[in-house]
Amino acid sequence: MNNMTNGVFKHETTGTLMKEGFIALQDTYTAENAISHLRKNVQGRTNIHYLYILNSDSQLIGVLSIRELLGASDDEWITNIMETDIISFPTDLDQEEAAKVFRDKDLVSIPVVNRANQLIGVIHVEEILDVIQQEADEDIRKLSASGKEIDFRTNPFVAAWRRLPWLVLLLFIGLISGGIIERFEATLEAVVALAFFMPMIAGMTGNTGTQSLAVVVRGLVSEDITFNKSMKLLFRELIVGIIIGITCAIVIAIIAFVWRGSLTLGLVVGSSLLATLIIGTLAGTVIPLLLYKFKVDPAVASGPLITTINDILSLLIYFGIATIFISKLM
Amino acid sequence: MNNMTNGVFKHETTGTLMKEGFIALQDTYTAENAISHLRKNVQGRTNIHYLYILNSDSQLIGVLSIRELLGASDDEWITNIMETDIISFPTDLDQEEAAKVFRDKDLVSIPVVNRANQLIGVIHVEEILDVIQQEADEDIRKLSASGKEIDFRTNPFVAAWRRLPWLVLLLFIGLISGGIIERFEATLEAVVALAFFMPMIAGMTGNTGTQSLAVVVRGLVSEDITFNKSMKLLFRELIVGIIIGITCAIVIAIIAFVWRGSLTLGLVVGSSLLATLIIGTLAGTVIPLLLYKFKVDPAVASGPLITTINDILSLLIYFGIATIFISKLM
């Protein structure tokens, strides 16, 4: 067994998750010997689902479940009944990746080996339950830009302090929308009714973006994304954006026409919504995929950030289209 | 063993999660007998971490880990070494509650009993890994209003179909903002610069609401909420809202004053932001807590829904305050 403490391993990796206290056997045992060894050494261990079989260099060469061992006849060599196609972890694997393996393989314990393939620890599924929970919490926190962990017991000053940096950043980004509207002040002064549809268009763009983002961020938890998969996903979301865009555009064009009695206004609002919903969907997909590609946690592309970026894009498109048709709107 | 199939149990409960194929022993065995019984019956079973001890009425009276059994001396009665303080599930417990117990107790298997306390199945931790993942995905999906499950393989028409109902609903709710702005048309026509800060104020209110919502929704996953806890949380979020509100209000008041050269505009925008951030924080806390109280899944209070409601409230407050000071703003 290795005498390094878990403290030397990187945070949130297999090295810090693993526990010692496993039972390892040399490869010279029979089933009967192994059971009797187990019966003498089992006291005080907490998790004994597998025995680990080592060669004379302490390298892990096989794994034997207690179930298989108990089912074997007494004089069977453990090397004959052990599983040699071993699933093991290095010490520096991210805990989220480790959780994926546990989920895929339905195992209750997975051994951790050093570079020389020597067994130095075992990760038990109980730890992984907490990892999955914790990673999901992290994703949700980032999606909602809540900053570092805040739970029911966090005191209000700490909670406010953790949430403020994001909010102040979003405040400044939000002012960009103000700058855009200022550029179109003349258009807005000429047709104040344009302001009525501003929150709805910006909001809807943010909503579709958040939906796409959620699909991508959670998808990344359970699978690895190749370039091909990204392109397929992007194409899929483009189609989704077009379908959603056309549907919502028709609805809003009719409403705008009925409400304000102007066909041009209906067409301006409808076509703006079509364009912004397609862009919102694509932004909600492309941004997290790019961050993933550049090894930034895609959940950092938080819901509020995407929403705020989409706000800005949607206002540009909306007032841009309105300005083109300004003479017909007045 | 019970001959009911899992099909008769409610979706996402312990009844549908449990598996048969456990090993149960009568309470008359010694450790030696139990081990030999185990060795004869273990083949083909997939998860054998515990033996379940039954009385003559097939009622579960004890649980014995393989580890304890192996560590016991041959002639020990299993009733002397078994654990009698048993953690077991009824068949109709929600799978999310079951996952909480697995996390809290660090167990790899938990038995399921019928009303007569007869053992009818066992839930293994491997199932719970998927449950935790799935519940987190559901929370995120609801927080982002993505509707039913959409993954990387969902075809675009299905994905659009699942996302559209929420979007159309949000579209109509978003139009309420339009109606509010229409009511304040005179104010807006008089001071078009008010429009510059509209997206920022609405956006910021939505952002704080989403942050509070995320804290509550994830908190509910890991603990049960009493009335007292709710009140404490609400009070905490009120303080958070005030701290965040004052900070952001000061920042924006200065910016508005510098940008537009009007102290009144700075005060109107700043005080509106203060009020809307406090309300946004409270709405993001109260709405999911109320839904939880009335047994509606609080994640249904999706991010976009809270954002849209906060949009409306923030516009009412902003234009309300602006209208009061309209003479000084012009």
Asked whether the predicted pLDDT for residue B257 surpasses 70, the reply is: yes
Out of A107-121, B149-163, B276-290, B313-327, least confident range:
B149-163
**C-beta atoms surrounding B217 within 10 Å:** 26
> Is the pLDDT reported for residue A12 higher than 80?
yes
Partners of residue B140 in chain A, C-beta under 8 Å = 136, 139-140, 143, 214, 217-218
CB contact under 8 A, B42 and A126: no
Interchain proximity A174–B200, CB inside 8 Å: yes
With beta carbons less than 8 A apart as the criterion, state whether A204 and A277 touch.
Answer: yes
- Asked whether the predicted pLDDT for residue B4 surpasses 50, the reply is no
A247-283 tens-digit pLDDT: 999 999 999 999 888 899 999 999 999 999 999 999 9
pLDDT digits (tens, 9 = 90+) for A180-211: 989 998 898 888 888 889 888 988 888 888 88
Say what percent of chain A tops pLDDT 70.
90
CATH of the domain at B243: 1.10.357.20
Cβ–Cβ below 8 Å for B108 and A125: yes
Structural domain contains residue A14: yes
B80 and B198 together in one domain: no
Predicted confidence (pLDDT) per residue in B92-104, tens digit: 998 888 998 998 8
pLDDT at B148: 62
Looking at the fold, whether B22 and B122 belong to one and the same domain comes out as: yes
Tell me if A133 and B247 make a contact (CB, 8 A cut-off).
no
What average pLDDT does range B205-227 have in this prediction?
79
Q: Is residue B291 part of a domain?
A: yes
Q: Nearest CA of chain B to the CA of A236: how many Å?
A: 5
- For the cut 50, the answer to whether the pLDDT of residue A4 exceeds it is no
The answer to which of A75-89, A205-219, B68-82 has the lowest mean pLDDT is A205-219
Q: CB distance B199–A174 less than 8 Å?
A: yes
Q: Looking at A48-57, A317-326, B35-44, B281-290, which range is the least confident one? A: B35-44
pLDDT band at A2 (very low <50, low <70, confident <90, very high): very low
Query: Average pLDDT of A69-89?
Result: 91
φ, ψ for residue A115 (rounded to 5)?
-65, -25
**Interface probe, candidates A198, A212, A319, chain B, greatest B C-beta count within 10 A:** A198
Q: Domain holding A92: CATH number?
A: 3.10.580.10
Query: Which residues numbered 213-232 in A keep a CB inside 8 Å of some CB on B?
Result: 213-215, 217-219, 221-223, 229, 232
Chain A positions touching B202 (Cβ under 8 A) are 199, 202-203
From B190, B93, B147, B178, select the one nearest B305 (Cα to Cα): B147
Higher pLDDT, A143 or A103: A103
- Which residue of chain A is at minimal alpha-carbon distance from B218? A137
pLDDT given for residue B54 in this prediction: 94
pLDDT of residue A202: 86
Domain that holds residue B31: 6-134
- Record: contact A70-B159, CB cut-off 8 A: no
For an interface test with B, the pick among A69, A129, A149, A158 (most B C-beta atoms closer than 10 Å) comes out as A129
Q: Examine the fold and report which residue of B101, B134, B167 is the final residue of a domain before the chain moves on.
A: B134
| Position A145 pLDDT exceeds 70 | no
Per mean pLDDT, which range of A101-110, A315-324, B79-88 is the poorest?
A101-110
Q: What is the pLDDT of residue B21?
A: 80
> If pLDDT is split at 50, 70 and 90, which confidence band does A3 have?
very low
- Binding-face residues of A in 286-325 toward B, CB within 8 A: 303-304, 307-308, 311, 315
> Which of B304, B306, B250, B272 has the alpha carbon at shortest distance from B184?
B272
Q: Reply yes or no on whether the pLDDT at A5 is more than 60.
A: no
The CA-to-CA distance between both ends of chain A, in Å, stands at 82
pLDDT of residue B84: 92
Instruction: Looking at the complex, report in whole angstroms how far the Cα of residue A4 sits from the nearest Cα belonging to chain B.
Output: 25
Mean pLDDT, all residues of chain A: 85
With cut-offs at 50, 70 and 90, classify the pLDDT of residue B163: confident
Measured in angstroms, the CA of A70 and the nearest CA of chain B are apart by 5
CA distance A10 to chain B (A): 24
> Are A120 and A89 members of one domain?
yes
Is there a contact between A126 and B106 if contact means CB atoms under 8 Å apart? yes
Q: Does residue B165 belong to any structural domain of this protein?
A: no
User: In this model, does residue B294 exceed pLDDT 90?
Assistant: no
Q: Is residue B164 part of a domain?
A: no
Residues B205 and B314 in one domain: yes
In single-letter form, the type of residue at position A221 comes to V
Is residue B5 very low, low, confident or very high in pLDDT (cuts 50, 70, 90)? very low
- Write out pLDDT tens, residues A33-74: 998 888 888 776 766 788 899 999 989 999 998 888 888 888
A123/A161 same-domain check: no
The tally of domains found in chain A comes to 2
Residue A188 placed within a domain: yes
Q: What is the pLDDT of residue A107?
A: 85
Strand partners for A110? A123
pLDDT of res. B120: 92
How confident is the model at residue B147, as a pLDDT?
58
Which of A65-74, A129-138, A212-221 shows the lowest per-residue confidence on average (mean pLDDT)?
A212-221
Residues A98 and A188 in one domain: no
Cross-chain CB nearest to B167 (options A49, A143, A207): A207
Give the per-residue pLDDT at A298: 60
Say whether residue A186 is in contact with chain B using an 8 A CB cutoff: no
B45 and B112 share a domain?
Answer: yes
Q: Are residues A281 and A312 in the same domain?
A: yes
Map tokens 């949700």 to a residue.
A140
Chain A residues near residue B265 by CB distance under 8 angstroms: none
Tens digits of per-residue pLDDT, B121-159? 999 988 898 888 888 877 777 666 665 666 777 788 888
CA B272 from centre of chain: 31
Contact B163 A308 (CB under 8 A): no
Same domain, residue pair A167 and A29: no
Q: Is residue A144 part of a domain?
A: no
Q: Do A87 and A48 fall into the same domain? A: yes
Using CA atoms, how far residue B180 sits from A242, A303, B143, B185, in Å, is 29, 26, 26, 9
Indicate the pLDDT class of residue B298, thresholds 50, 70 and 90: low
Residues B315, A139: C-beta atoms closer than 8 Å = no
Q: For residue B1, what pLDDT is reported?
A: 39
Co-location of B126 and B39 in the same domain: yes
A189-208 residues touching B, CB cutoff 8 A: 189, 192-193, 195-200, 202-204, 206-208
d(CA A77, CA A75): 6
Q: What is the mean pLDDT of chain B?
A: 85
Domain final position from A134, A167, A192: A134
State whether B116 and B210 are in the same domain: no
* Residue A155: predicted pLDDT: 81
What is the distance between the alpha carbons of residues A112 and B239, in angstroms, rounded to a whole number? 46
**In this structure, is residue A229 part of a structural domain?**
yes
The three-state DSSP-derived secondary structure of chain B is CCCCCHHHCCCCEHHHHCECCCCEEECCCEHHHHHHHHHHHCCCCCCCCEEEEECCCCEEEEEEEHHHHHHCCCCCEHHHHCECCCCCECCCCEHHHHHHHHHHHCCCEEEEECCCCEEEEEEEHHHHHHHHHHHHHHHHHHHCCCCCCCCCCCCHHHHHHHHHHHHHHHHHHHHHHHHHHHHCHHHHHHCCCHHHHHHHHHHHHHHHHHHHHHHHHHHHHHCCCCHHHHHHHHHHHHHHHHHHHHHHHHHHHHHHHHHHCCHHHHHHHHHHHHHHHHHHHHHHHHHHHHHHHCCCCHHHCCHHHHHHHHHHHHHHHHHHHHHHCHHHHC
